[in-house]
Chain A
């Protein structure tokens, strides 16, 4: 079981948070122009005004749904294709240039192309998928390659069924790699997904709200939406990693 946070650690975390809130407040007071740099109080006030509205929740749920869908599709596809590429080296060679391209092409280029080809409604889904897929694919390959060959020999000699070998030998080798890839891909899926929404401005999206905040120079609202994204991304990341840890046990 995970040990509970000690009061000392909690206090330290609280002090760090207060310190950075203080820095934020000090910078906003120095700038002294809320339209350029909103203070924490202005931001919380803007958030407080938004939270009870239907538009807020429709944007939150819309973005969450699209990014989560893109992430989970990439997780499933990345795992399946990674396993297939591990099994068939020809597929691995065939996919190599495509995966290298996916890793190196700027996200903005993808966003514009997808916008042209598919429109804005599924933009965040596809962008999140394209960002996460290579990470999961390479993690699956590395994890499977790290499988202990002695345990595979053991399975072979004892004629252990393939499914049991997959679950009890391959999965434990794969999981640490998958967890590491997901930990970084989760944050990136939010960054790229929201950036795509800002460019594509689909209806019922945080990206659209961020874009409108920019248009109306509503900096406090912009900060409030950014805070929302940080909270959503953190909660989503913790929930997914907890789920994966459970499956990996």
Chain B
């Protein structure tokens, strides 16, 4: 289904973040969201995820989301594969999850505790987790933080290959590195 935000208004203290804002994400669309810091990219994603109630306006209900948050939010002490199995599947899916994750991480890191992985690798685990989960729409908040340019391109290719027709909206301040990809760009 399409996801519509209608007449959204929201303040943070005295600061107006959204004023009668409207947005429609078409089913299966690929969107990039860019805006200067503090303009409400994260707020918009949190409203879509249902983690923040706006002061006014409506958002399409009943959408199953998966997400990459600004912080990685990985289960401490658990392996990279465990992070995927936490959101979908069980022990029986371990090999399947490992194969999936191997598209983005070296094989010898898959069963390591995430605390032993580099920041960039942890970020990629969080990205793989969002794509592995059952969802209708994937939201990613600055997913490429901490990734070098080559890894960023490898990661975008992985995202595009595994989004399986789902709507995808990612916020980034690295738009210039993504011009070769078919994102429809939104600004705030």
Contact = CB atoms under 8 A, between A and B. Distances in A.
Interface of A: 150-151, 153-154, 156-160, 164, 168-169, 172
B86 A157 contact: no
A154 B77 contact: no
A159 B64 contact: yes
B67 interface: yes
Nearest to B82: A168
A160 B69 contact: no
Contacts of A153: 51, 69, 73
Main secondary structure of the interface of B (DSSP, over half): loop
Nearest to A151: B73
29 contacts: A150-B69, A150-B71, A150-B73, A151-B73, A151-B75, A153-B51, A153-B69, A154-B69, A154-B73, A156-B50, A157-B49, A157-B50, A157-B65, A157-B66, A157-B67, A158-B66, A158-B67, A158-B86, A158-B87, A158-B88, A158-B133, A160-B87, A164-B86, A168-B75, A168-B78, A168-B86, A172-B75, A172-B76, A172-B77
Interface of B: 49-51, 64-67, 69, 71, 73, 75-78, 86-88, 133
A144 B49 CA distance: 24
A153 B66 CA distance: 11
A156 B87 CA distance: 10
A154 B50 CA distance: 12
A39 B15 CA distance: 79
Nearest to B49: A157
Of the candidates B49, B67, B87, the one having the most CB atoms from chain A within 10 angstroms of its own CB is B87
Nearest to A167: B86
A113 B145 CA distance: 64
B114 to A, nearest CB: 12
Nearest to B90: A164
Contact of B75 (A156, A157, A169): A169
Contacts of B86: 158, 160, 164, 168
Given A158-B87, A172-B76, 11 more contacts: A150-B69, A151-B75, A153-B69, A156-B50, A157-B66, A157-B67, A158-B66, A158-B86, A158-B133, A160-B86, A164-B86
